[in-house]
Amino acid sequence: MKTVKLKAENLYKVFGDQPKKALALINQGLDKDQIFAQTGHTLGVNKASFEVYEGEIFVVMGLSGSGKSTLVRLLNRLIEPTAGQIYIDNQEISQMSAKQLRQIRREKISMVFQSFALLPHMSVVDNAAFGLSLDGCDKKMALVKAMQALEQVGLAAYAHSYPAELSGGMQQRVGIARALATGSEIMLMDEAFSALDPLIRTEMQDELVKLQEKNRRTIIFISHDLDEAMRIGDRIAIMEHGNIVQIGTPEEILRNPATEYVESFFKGVSMSEVLSAKHLINKKFFSVPKKDSQGTQTISRLLNESDYDYAYLTNSEKTPIGVVTMESLHNARQSTDRLEDAFLDGVSCIDAETPINDIIGTMAEAPCPLPVVNEHKQMIGIMTRAKLLKALDPN
């Protein structure tokens, strides 16, 4: 069961000196433009309710002025909500005192902005340790944690360089390292890569996904770019005029856009162009850690007791090493009785980041659903031919 890390309930933000007047008009059904015409107040966020699960990358996207940056700043109260509640680990923060809020920010939540916001007179490691220093952390311990964070983003060798000596992508990594160094469980990233060149931006997206696999932080990522959202997001929330109009996985939104506005984002987009194996995996499968003591009889019994047609055998690192069926196990028992001789031929692993277009040929010839692995070659799910064909069917 998924754990809810952060939750927003009926969250509003009205910019102006009489927000209650604007809220009354909202309750009467007036939209953002009508409210501005009557009051001069701007509706930034309108009754936003959503949950973010622990360890997921939750992308919020929309056009300029849709309210996405306002929303993310409400979540750590950089901007005060006009109404509504915000919960972190079931603890409401919307009514916390300034002292309590500082404690939450120190321990649980950090933010990475579009601008790198590095201090030019400080070294890379000192920049990475800056958040810890502000929190009163011992300097020696702050530097140790900063170095660990720089290692995670691949910049340990540049610890004593200065920001001006780094490329834009490297500077952005320092900003991420600064957030990682605090050990915060939730990272808010507001258009964090939008100022980067396309190639560097893609590299940073890949780095973020890799870091996520290692650290399992909860990340709320603001973006206006569809490719970026599809590339990194576990789920996507789409905003329009301050409203969240749809939340879902990339596949769900592609297949069933809730409004014409959502559909316009994906106009002309082919599933095969934007989705990768990780978007289509089935996480329900039967795997068995292979041990020297196990033979065809043992695996047959385990498979027979399951509700599955295939058993995926893995090594101690959870890497797939073979797939068997009741029939292949029976045939192996009748000949050599070696478990390895029961492995199905033509089975190969699919990397989770592989684009769908590159999977079609492999799946067409596969004798069974194929194992999907992460960058550490650990099995995270299976790809079925039915799921692939469904994704390729525009209807």
Residues 295-326: tens digit of each pLDDT: 899 999 999 998 899 999 999 899 999 999 99
Query: Which residues, at least 6 apart from 271, have a Cβ–Cβ distance to it below 8 Å?
Result: 251, 254, 255, 356, 391, 392, 394
The boundaries of the domain holding residue 184 are 4-273
Same domain as 360, residue 256: no
Q: Which residue has the tokens 């014409």?
A: 260
Three-state secondary-structure class, residue 47: strand
Average model confidence (pLDDT) across the chain: 87
Domain count, the chain: 2
Let me know whether 255 and 317 are in one domain.
Answer: no
d(Cα 186, Cα 97) in Å, to the nearest integer? 20
**Burial zone of 17 (CB within 10 Å; 0-12 exposed, 13-18 middle, 19+ buried):** exposed
> What are the C-alpha distances in Å from 164 to residues 5, 120, 337, 392?
37, 7, 65, 46
If asked whether residues 244 and 299 sit together in one domain, one would say no
Maximum Cα interatomic distance, the chain, rounded to a whole number of Å: 84
Same domain, 321 and 251: no
What is the CATH number for 342?
A: 3.10.580.10
pLDDT in tens, the chain (395 residues): 789 999 999 999 999 988 888 899 888 888 888 989 999 999 999 999 999 999 899 999 998 889 999 999 999 998 999 999 999 999 999 888 888 888 888 778 888 776 667 888 989 999 888 877 777 777 888 888 889 888 888 888 998 999 889 887 788 888 888 888 877 889 898 887 777 778 777 877 887 887 777 778 899 999 988 888 888 888 999 999 999 999 998 878 887 889 999 988 877 666 676 778 888 889 899 999 888 767 899 999 999 998 899 999 999 899 999 999 999 999 999 988 889 999 999 899 999 988 888 898 899 999 999 999 988 899 999 999 988 888 777 55
Per-residue model confidence (pLDDT) at position 372: 95
3-state secondary structure of 75: helix
Answer with the one of 255, 273, 291 that is the final residue of a domain. Answer: 273
Contact assessment for residue 126 and residue 159, using Cβ atoms and an 8 Å cutoff: no
| Strand boundaries in the chain, DSSP class E | 4-15, 42-53, 57-61, 83-88, 91-92, 109-112, 186-190, 218-223, 235-240, 243-248, 287-289, 311-314, 320-324, 350-351, 370-373, 379-383
Residue where a domain terminates, one of 273, 306, 333? 273
pLDDT at position 59, please?
95
- Phi-psi bin for 73: left (phi > 0), alpha (psi -120 to 50), beta? alpha
The pLDDT assigned to 8 comes to 95
Do residues 251 and 336 both lie within one domain? no
Question: Which residues have a Cβ under 8 Å from the Cβ of 155 and sit 6 or more positions away?
Answer: 124, 170, 173, 174, 177
Q: Does residue 238 sit in helix, strand or coil?
A: strand
Please check whether residues 143 and 255 belong to one and the same domain. yes
At residue 328, the pLDDT reads: 94
48 and 142, same structural domain?
yes
Assess whether 359 and 318 both reside in one domain. yes
Q: What is the pLDDT of residues 71-108, one digit of tens each?
A: 999 999 989 999 999 999 999 998 888 888 888 887 78
CATH of the domain at 121: 3.40.50.300
Total Cβ atoms within 10 A of residue 81: 25
What pLDDT score does 395 carry? 59
Residue 210 and residue 73 share a domain = yes
pLDDT digits (tens, 9 = 90+) for 23-71: 998 888 888 889 899 999 999 999 999 999 998 999 999 988 899 999 9
Indicate if 292 and 332 belong to the same structural domain: yes
Task: Indicate whether 191 and 148 sit together in one domain.
Answer: yes
Same-domain status, 238 and 299:
no
Last-in-domain residue among 228, 250, 273: 273
